[in-house]
Amino acid sequence: MANDTTMTEEQFQYFYYGTLFQEDYDPYRPIFMAKQLDVLKPIYQKADPSRSERQMVLDYAVAAIEDNPVNIQQLVHRVYNYEKNKKYDLAKIWQYKLNHILLVIASSGLGTDPETARIVVYPEHEYDFLNLAGFIATGQRFEAPSYDVISVKQRNANDPEGFYFDISEMLRQYFLKHPSELDDSYDEEDEETVIEDTPEAES
């Protein structure tokens, strides 16, 4: 948050995965200022938003990142709007942070099978990571004991049909704080669900 550009790759790993052990951590936390986000969703889809609209998007991004410093979607919006406002130095600083968070996720595994499953700290990061890597998510299923499998539209014959994410630590931390939900977990997890082409899935 202090715009320190000297952090090492190892420090970014501690920063990102340290999120799991923060007192207020909840992988299924409510959307930050949900009503305001609903107002912004049409603006996200505009090819050329007005300056005032860009400022609205930027103000929300700044507040959302203060609430959750590893909010990948809002890091993307923050970088984009700094660039559109010609604040190139700030754009480079925040792009540096975004790139290193994505690198942490990428370096956790290839994601092509359970043994190489990638690790994220929020479920939405599975989609954020794949979208930024150029994939379109088409579905999701839970695979025991603790994997999210995100199916994707293949770009070529060499692409896998889906990617594995290990959510074991995410679930462990969640149930430590919500033990009453243990008995109700995974009731419908084996059913595959299709991801609709929504603004938030693309943002």
Can you give the pTM of this predicted structure?
0.84
Asked if 194 and 131 sit in the same domain, the reply is yes
Mean pLDDT score of the chain: 88
- Residue 53: inside a domain, yes or no? yes
Q: What is the pLDDT of residues 132-145, one digit of tens each?
A: 999 999 999 999 99
- Residue 3: inside a domain, yes or no? no
* Separation between Cα atoms, residue 129 and residue 150, nearest integer Å: 11
* Separation between Cα atoms, residue 84 and residue 103, nearest integer Å: 25
Asked if 39 and 94 sit in the same domain, the reply is yes
- Residue 193: inside a domain, yes or no? yes
Domain boundary among 73, 107, 141: 107
Asked if 72 and 145 sit in the same domain, the reply is no
pLDDT for the residue 176? 87
Looking at residues 24-50, what average pLDDT do you find? 91
pLDDT for the residue 185? 53
Asked if the model's pLDDT at residue 203 lies above 80, the reply is no
Asked if 92 and 134 sit in the same domain, the reply is no
Asked if 85 and 34 sit in the same domain, the reply is yes
Q: Choose the weakest-confidence range: 4-18, 36-50, 176-190.
A: 176-190
- Residue 119: inside a domain, yes or no? yes
User: What is the residue range of 191's domain?
Assistant: 114-202
Domain boundary among 57, 80, 107: 107
- Residue 77: inside a domain, yes or no? yes
Q: What is the pLDDT of residues 76-90, one digit of tens each?
A: 999 999 999 999 999
Domain count, the chain: 2
Asked if the model's pLDDT at residue 64 lies above 70, the reply is yes
- Residue 122: inside a domain, yes or no? yes
Domain boundary among 46, 79, 107: 107
pLDDT for the residue 190? 47
- Partners of 194 in the β-ladder: 139
- Residue 25: inside a domain, yes or no? yes
